[in-house]
Structure 1
Amino acid sequence: MSDGLTVDEVTKTNTGSSQVAILLFLALALMSALLNSSAPTPLYPLYQHQLALTSVSLTLIYGAYAAGVLISLFGVGNMAGKVKDLRSMIVPALLVVLVGALLFAMADSFFMMFMARLLAGVGTGALTGAANIALVRFGPRDGGKQAALIATLSFTAGLALGPIFSGVALQTGFHATSMPFVIIMAVAAIAALGVMFRWPAIEIAEPVGGVAAGVGGPNSTLAAGLRATGGKFFLCAGALFICWVVAASILAIGPNVAEKLLGMEDRGIYGYVIAIYLMIAGASQILSRRLPARYSLMFGCLAQAQALSVVVFAEAIYIHSLGLAAAGMVIAGYAYGAIFVGSATLVNLISPKASHARLISLFYVIAYIANWVPILLGVVIDHASLQLAVNLLFMVSAVACVGLGIRVTRAGFPR
């Protein structure tokens, strides 16, 4: 053929185009789930006022998302690696995300908001594993590096854009409690259609050493893995737990803290603050991958990061300084990314191959439980004061972070 491509060349070009398209739609799918996770944050004070919710009710709504993720991980988490056509998991998960967003857009009661968050968590949990495996299958053969980068960027974009949509809706007064979720429904629908109709026709073989590696055998039990890793596993899990406690508290009670203790009158602005915090956390994750994991975790806990951030927050509230609070958010964002990457990488390094999957599952279960700690803060707020709840959070998390940072330096992790 003098003026065109051969049949093989055309086939390869079409396959390459199809793979690029599916990577984009998978990224959009992940982004839609995380949009649904973060969009409600700036709206919580408005919902609390309109629906006369207690602080406990508000934090229960926030914690329902983590419950949904855990339900999904336990229910379908292990299926993703065994399913040949992952569309059968990704598309239903996107529909669950869409229904969760629809419920939130229509919510006029505690029950509807609780169910909306629960469904958002179920959809995210089911989608995350399946979409990540699909990214590896259809991405370049680089050990999953590009897949991990796409997933991180998608998560960061989704988490950051959610509060921005809500902030704009609050400031403009344009259907503040529904407009952000209509956008999320549109994104989820586009992603679902793209996954259904742009899925590559060629079956991609599972990479060697994929998700099923190391399963089975006498040493594959969780107990065997915990014996092999000793206290190092719980040190990593504890660091991520405290990190997520602080992050969850920023998202769950942060809007009320900004309004009542820092005097931030424009609720929409807090959406932009949260977006910046989450973008810093995402950038920190990407940059922290270049550091040895042990130092990343140590710097996140000790190196004037997580412990310092809560001290800065406490001082900002004491002197009513929004500028100092903003500095605390920047430090906390860096700490979140550094601790997340450092602890997750170290768990991967120290986990025996036979029990690796089970240890990773437990690691994230412990982390997601941190999302329920704000419920205890809600009890303190309802029965005492917001100030006392914030002080307890600051004191406990600062002491825990310093202690964990010291333990990390002495734990003898792989260098």
Structure 2
Amino acid sequence: MLFPKLMQKVILEGDLRLIDARGRTYDCGDGSGERVTLHLHNRSLEYKLVLNPPLYLAEAYMDGEITIEEGSLRIFLEMLARNYHVLEKNRLVMLGFKLARHTRKLKQYNPVGKAQKNVAHHYDLSGELYDLFLDTDRQYSCAYFRNGDETLEQAQTDKKLHLAAKLHLNRPGLKLLDIGSGWGGLGLYMAQEGGCDVTGVTLSREQHKVSSERVQKAGLEKQVEFHLRDYREDTNRYDRIVSVGMFEHVGKQNYHEFFQKVSDMLEDDGVFVLHSVGRINDPGPTNPFIRKYIFPGADVPTLGEVLPVIEDVMLEVTDIEVLRLHYAETLRNWEERFQANRAKIAEHYDERFCRMWEAYLLGCEMGFRHQGLVVFQIQITKNPTAVPQTRDYIYEWEHGIKKEATQAAE
């Protein structure tokens, strides 16, 4: 009975009904909003769920030990997210969170070989899976919604445009490194729109295969190359460096190594743009469900953890932008596409996999809507004169590219 009692203390806003394995009913919340009824089918859950709610709730849903008889998983997870600040104050739950904080350094151990295994766990899944919920360019990171009503494809194109503008691609032939180059879309964009000579590095065999094929198909073999290697193994120097959605996998104890390596590779007049998920509240461990099942070794930084390290290696921060609900909207689009293709995904994997990914996509969306998750875009240089004094150049470059695209379409 511990879990129902915990939920009665935690759910202050919303309408949650719990049915335990004995058929007993418990009502939680103030009755506002749409009701969610959860049925627990295993007696052990009544006690187990109290020890680590974020992990064990997701596992119970994945295994069918919890079913939703009224409402939906989306409504339930949003209810939890809105009331999460109360859950964090529970003494028993806090004990588990403190233990996670003490052990997270061990979980962030990130040598070259282990880093590749962590990446393979998620990114070497079937390419067909990603085609079923990502945009056509396979951009697997936060999109940029200028107005909020764009298609996912447009918002992802605008993300690439926004990053290119911040890199200040002021002349053709700039040597650019893409750390964590994914399926190659960003690197190809930098070559085609910015005239850069692009090197991309990834630890995913599947991503490397696809990105290399895309280079050949585009006829850009002399301008773009992708390598299956760790960024720490690169010995070249670059005019521009960009990293999108990779820093979350570095781990706090490895921040100094990361920025020192970037400093070593960046030319004296170079520009580096870092795009990373971050927190705007207190530092804390990554959700244990996400760490165990989705992104092993991942960790989400705060600016307070990152900026002192950047300064320590004598790099200069020249611009910071905080993207707030952009990732929530990106995840909403992904989840809708995932659901539209759920039957195909279940055929390729299984029902448990689909439930796991539902919990992942919806849970992360709620984290960005209600729990202080954002995206940081940090522009970094060695020399304050490497970029213009005002931000006008960013929007002028974006406007120029959009104008060219409109004229070409006409």
Given the two structures, how large is their TM-score scaled by the length of structure 1?
Answer: 0.23
Q: Which has the higher contact order (CA 8 A, sep 6+)?
A: 1
